[in-house]
Amino acid sequence: MNQFRNFIAAYANTFASGKKLPLGKGTPGQPQKRKTNAPVALIFSPHPDDECIIGALALRLQRQAGFRVVNIAVTLGSKAARRPARWKELTNACATLGFGLESICPGGLEKITPVARVQEPKRWETAVRLTAALLWRHRPAVVFLPHAHDWHPTHIGTHWLVRDALDTLPADFTCTLVETEFWGQMAAPNLMVESSETDVVDLMTALSQHVGEVRRNPYHLRLPAWMMDNVRRGAELVGGAGGKAPAFLFATLYRASWRKGETLTPLKPACLPSNSSLKQLLR
């Protein structure tokens, strides 16, 4: 018998058993007591569920550095009939993680894509103005957004929406800009952020709140495998070609830059184990 047969069978059995677990049954997290001047991290999510998929670093900022994390729903998906349910699912997911939740506008924005940015400038300008007002009101220390090549048109559109909004703000507006990936991998991430087992459990639990989505495609069960593959990639993309992989199992890759005015200064490549300080992300 091949020596790996039992190993693969265990993976398959674990995934099959996961399909039997109930969806949307997690216990909402308890909001942490934070100082009134707690730093803010904003997650600009193209769709409901992105806040969980890419939320590892935001969750650590909340739990380890006392941040107030607010998820910004850019859209509520393309299917109008599903939007009320998706908002409810998103509310439950954010509550599970202890994240705040806002929408850029009631019902979410429409057609946030690179094509709309070019072909519908007036509507795009309105979306940029709403986004800029939200950024100015929160004055976030950290802003999460998809990277510019994240494949899905709404992910790419969200990147340019946030970038365009930032460009309208005063030149002294500063923040750490953290680009995320899911549909399309980044060519040059500079952060590999470990998640503890507890954090992965909580991210999966929150993701399972998106019942209507994961019922058709159980991607919440694939989240740990995706995070394990990030360790494989990050070992060399962040750690350097030929670098030794870290001992931990779960990680998410990001590209972080310090932004002042329209100038972006990439942070030095770093691997951040679950017990490491996050202070290097801030100035």
DSSP-assigned letters across all residues of 119-154: H-HHHHHHHHHHHHHHHHHH--SEEEEE-TT-SSHH
Give Cα 105 distance to the centre of its chain.
Answer: 20
What is the model's pLDDT at position 213? 94
What is the model's pLDDT at position 174? 95
Distances (CA, A) of 64 to 214, 258, 280: 29, 20, 13
In this prediction the pTM is 0.94
CA separation for the pair 20, 11 (Å, rounded): 15
Non-local CB neighbours of 122 within 8 Å, separated by 6+ positions: none
Residues forming beta bridges with residue 257, ordered by sequence position: 177, 266
Domains of the chain, CATH where assigned: 35-281 (3.40.50.10320)
What is the model's pLDDT at position 34? 60
What is the model's pLDDT at position 24? 83
8 A C-beta contact, residue 176 and residue 139: no
The pair of structure tokens assigned to 7 is 């190993």
CA separation for the pair 26, 94 (Å, rounded): 11
What is the model's pLDDT at position 47? 97
8 A C-beta contact, residue 54 and residue 181: yes
**What backbone torsions phi and psi does residue 147 show, to the nearest 5 degrees?**
-75, 170
What is the model's pLDDT at position 279? 83
**Residue ranges in the chain whose pLDDT is less than 70:** 26-36
CA separation for the pair 152, 139 (Å, rounded): 28
